[in-house]
Each structure stands twice: as C-alpha cells, then as structure tokens.
Amino acid sequence: MPFHFNYSIMTNNQANCLFCNNKSVCFKELTGDELARITENKVEISYKKDETIIKQHGFASNIYFIKKGLVKIYLENTDRNLIIEIGGEGKVLGLTSLNHTKHYMFSATAIENVVLCEISMDVINEIMQTNQYFNRQVISTLNTTIEKILKKLYCISHKHLNGRLAEALLCFADDIYKSHKFTLGISRKDLSDITNMATENVVRLLKEFNEKKYIKLTGKNIEILNYSALKQLSR
Amino acid sequence: MPFHFNYSIMTNNQANCLFCNNKSVCFKELTGDELARITENKVEISYKKDETIIKQHGFASNIYFIKKGLVKIYLENTDRNLIIEIGGEGKVLGLTSLNHTKHYMFSATAIENVVLCEISMDVINEIMQTNQYFNRQVISTLNTTIEKILKKLYCISHKHLNGRLAEALLCFADDIYKSHKFTLGISRKDLSDITNMATENVVRLLKEFNEKKYIKLTGKNIEILNYSALKQLSR
DNA sequence: TATAAACATTGATATATATCAGCAAATTTA
DNA sequence: TAAATTTGCTGATATATATCAATGTTTATA
C-alpha cells in the first residue's frame, strides 16, 4: 500500500476564537483584533483520562482553558499529593504564574476525557499590556482562587476526617457534578489526596456514611441521601 | 484652665504620596495625577499592638499599605484562629477583595506598633481603570499571596508538629526579623495558631528544641543556634 | 500594693488518625 | 483465558496529637 501522508494529524484545530460560544469570562470583552491574536496562538487539544496537562515546576509557557471534562489540580510530592481543586468547564489553568514566576505552581491531570484550549502565555502577556478589562478579570479569577484555597486550608486545619469527607462529597454534588447522584471519576486514593487522610479512612468513612444512610454507595456510584446530615458534619 | 481645641487630632496626615520614598511596588510607576488622587484619598494611621486593622467579613472599603511594624493576618473562627501570614513593611492588605467580593476575606491585627497608609478602595478601582502597570503589579502581588498560601497548605497538611514549628521559626529568622536572634512579638497561643497545633505542644517543642540546642530560648527571646537542624526538621 | 486575670508550663491521659498486614475484587496485561 | 497488577476493603495495632488538670509566672487592674 502506498504511503499517504495524513495531513489531518498535522493540522491544529484553529477555529476562530471570535466565534467561540464557550469563552472564559476573561475573554468575553476582548476586541476582534485581540481574539484574532489568540486564534493565531492557540490550539484546541483533547486529553484522555489520566493524561498530564500541567506539570508542577515546569515552564509556564501556556495557559489552559477547560472547555469540557474534569481535571485534578494538585501539589506534587515524593510521598504524597494534595489535590487543591477539581476543575471543570470554564476553569483556566496557569494564571497563577502571570507576572510572578516562569514555572507552574502545581500539576494538573485529566480525570476524564478533557477538551481544552491551550493559549500561548506570550499572547496573554501581550493582551495584558493593552486590555484593562482582561486584567481585571484575571484579578477577579485569582481572588476566586485565593478564596478557594483559604477554604481548603481552613477545612484541612480545623475539621476532622468525617467533616472533611462530608465537605468533599457535598462539593462533588453541588459544584462538580451538580447532582445528588453521580459517578466518581476518581479513585479512593484521589479522595484521600483531596481530604488529606489515609485511603483506608476514606473507605471506612464512606462505609460508615452508607450504613448511616447519609449516602447510597455502590462502588464509584454515590447518591446523597441525607444532605443536611452531611452539611452538619462538614461544620 | 480654658478649653483649647486641639486641631492636630482633627487633621489627618496628608503627606503627598508623590514624595513618599516608601511606596509599595504597586505604586512605583503611577503618574503624578494618579498619586495626587491617592494623596486626596489616603490617611496615614498608627496602630498600637493588639489593635484590629481589618475585620474578616467586614466591608472592604480600603486597602492598607504597611509602612512600619508587623501585623498578623488570620482566619477567624468561633473556637480557633488560623494565622495565614505575619506581614511587615511593604505588605498590602485588602487586594484580595478587588473585583471579587465586597468583604474582607480575613482579619488583621497589629502585633507591634504599626504605621500604615489607608487608601480608599474607590481610588484603587479608579486607577485600575487607567493604569495597566498597576494592574499587573496587583496580579503579581496576588500570585505571591497564592504561592504563600499554597506553601502553608502544604506545610499544615504534610508536616508533623516539629516540622511545622521549625518552619515557623525559620520564617521568623529569615523573612520577618531577618536575624538569627529575635524577640517574638507574639504569644505561644499565636504560635499555635500559626502552626495549627495545641499551645501545650508549642511549649513542649520549644523546650525540646532548646534542650537539643537547636535554639536558645529565654521567654520570648529566641536565637537560632542550629539552623540546618531546623531546616532538616522542616522537610 | 494586693488581687485578679491572662499566659506559660508540666505531666497524665484520651482520642484521632496513620500504618501495617492480609485478603478480595476489579482491572490490565500477556 | 490466565496471570499479574492495581485498587478496594477489613481488622489490629502503633503513633501523633489534643485534651485535661494542676501549678507557676507574668501582666493588668482595683
């Protein structure tokens, strides 16, 4: 069979950002020119579950706008990871390196199939020089991040195991899957990295919540049965 | 004795910001006009030890630029506080509310006599509309904050008591007092709110460090004797 | 100055949580 | 399909850390 070069795998998805209906709030009020500059310097990429998107300490060359799917954002360590946040549609990764460090502060991995736009940091820096609206959106986004991390810090430092796990489950139901019934895309180990406890304790506590009918647990399928009991525990 | 009205207590310190040699990096490249606007909308104030500067959940009406002295920045709670950072000269408080929330995210209290400039949030918002340099400095400052909080989160979630206390002592020596010999301006209770441990454990560990000759401890006077041992512990 | 209040210290004890070891179940690889 | 690897589960045990109670010490108050 003669060799036919497959052009499609060499061609980046270069849909014009101007016509994208799925823009991050940061990009909502960019001018046509600015969006054109972004179009020239972005690629849309798909990641499969478990693929690494950002590596902590690596050069912060791009930012990533999640269009579809979930990612775990975490601090890496030789012995143990700490998951800071599960990010979904609309989450922008990499802004925390802007005007601060050449490296990423954390790692990010797809926990299900993900579609995102990778945008060159250079063009972001360029737009920051000219568009105040963009800067203010970045500030707003960073402050949202700070609030989330402070909440996490508070949770881990002030709450016991059951409160931390209850809070994580409510976060899945309310913010991530937006339903009282969901299928966890992550392992018990990941849950332990979110709640900062031993995996065995995640297992034991999930079992306990199940026995007390706070949740209905079937492997990775979880249904919240007693929302207010979990809410109470998380205090 | 006839009553003489003391005008001085009614007159704010309105030194012109243009001639201030002590400007935050955020304010370094403002135009003369912008500095004039700030001059009109700022007051220099002194706080005594233990006075509250910012109250968590209060309206974020001003930002505070610390010119002199140390403050503790902390999350409040009915049972227990968590000190996020000890801030000194050059620290700006309140930026984390910009474009995000009308309220302060944390409380701040003077731990020694403090001189600061209180600047109206309105004029800060005004300058953010016109000066990109200012915006970028704010972004830089926020990202520094994020990195610090992440370090704290990591410390509290991954390290044991001795590591957490060692890290706190090194922070005092390296970043806050910038000397291996210093007099702590805070109580053992505050140290426990920094390291997230029981006050009794702070006392016991300080004693242990003293016995092992890692530090020389005399009440609130601390001298670092074995820097590398503490550094090792903090890992 | 006397008294009260807050802070610091110490040892004993209780509790929360991690670790270990062994096994079952599920998933991947050969 | 079988073997190997990972993931989930369970109970027993060890450990880190908090709590409690009592006492000394400093600082604030009457």
Instruction: Express each pLDDT in A202-229 by its tens digit.
Output: 999 999 999 999 999 999 999 999 999 9
Between the alpha carbon of residue B162 and those of residues A4, A79, B209, the distances in Å are: 64, 18, 9
**Residues 175-214 of A with CB within 7 A of strand C:** 196-198, 200-201
Q: Please write the tens of the pLDDT for every residue from A107-142.
A: 999 999 999 999 999 999 999 998 989 999 999 999
Distance from CA of A56 to the nearest CA of B (A): 12
Residue range A159-233 forms a domain whose CATH class is mainly alpha
> Greatest CA separation found in chain B?
67
A146 touches chain B (CB under 8 A): yes
Query: Residue B119: which H helix or E strand, with range?
Result: strand B114-120
How far apart CA B146 and CA B114 sit, in angstroms, is 24
A:31-90 residues touching chain B, CB 8 A cutoff:
75, 77, 79-80, 82, 84
Asked if the Cβ–Cβ distance from B136 to A135 is below 8 Å, we say yes
For the CA of A167 and the C1' of C18, the distance in angstroms is: 21
Residue range B7-156 forms a domain whose CATH class is mainly beta
Residue in B128, B136, B146 nearest the CB of A142: B146
Phi, psi values for residue B154, rounded to 5° = -60, -45
Distance from CA of B2 to the nearest CA of A (A): 54
Asked if the Cβ–Cβ distance from A128 to B128 is below 8 Å, we say no
pLDDT at B142 exceeding the cut of 70: yes
Question: Between A and B, how many residue pairs show a Cβ–Cβ distance under 8 A?
Answer: 122
Residue B13: what pLDDT? 56
Q: Please write the tens of the pLDDT for every residue from B38-74.
A: 999 999 999 999 999 999 999 999 999 999 999 999 9
A136 touches chain B (CB under 8 A): yes
pLDDT at A4 exceeding the cut of 50: no
Asked if the Cβ–Cβ distance from B146 to A75 is below 8 Å, we say no
Q: Helices B199-211 and B161-171: crossing angle, nearest 10°?
A: 80
Where exactly does CATH 2.60.120.10 map onto chain B? 7-156
Asked if the Cβ–Cβ distance from B99 to A137 is below 8 Å, we say yes
Nearest CA among B196, B113, B112 for reference residue B158: B196
Residue B173: what pLDDT? 97
Mutation target for B interface from A56, A85, A144, A153: give the one with most B CBs within 10 A.
Answer: A153
Burial class (CB in 10 A: 0-12, 13-18, 19+), B188: middle
Rg of chain B over all Cα atoms, to the nearest angstrom? 20
Instruction: Decide: CB of A2 under 7 A of nucleic strand D.
Output: no
pLDDT range class, residue A9, cuts 50, 70, 90: very low
Provide the 10 A C-beta neighbour count for residue B1: 3
pTM: 0.93
pLDDT at B144 exceeding the cut of 90: yes
pLDDT > 70: percent of chain B: 94
Asked if the Cβ–Cβ distance from B129 to A130 is below 8 Å, we say no
Where exactly does CATH 1.10.10.10 map onto chain A? 159-233
Q: Are A12 and A43 in contact (CB under 8 A)?
A: yes
For the CA of B194 and the C1' of D28, the distance in angstroms is: 26
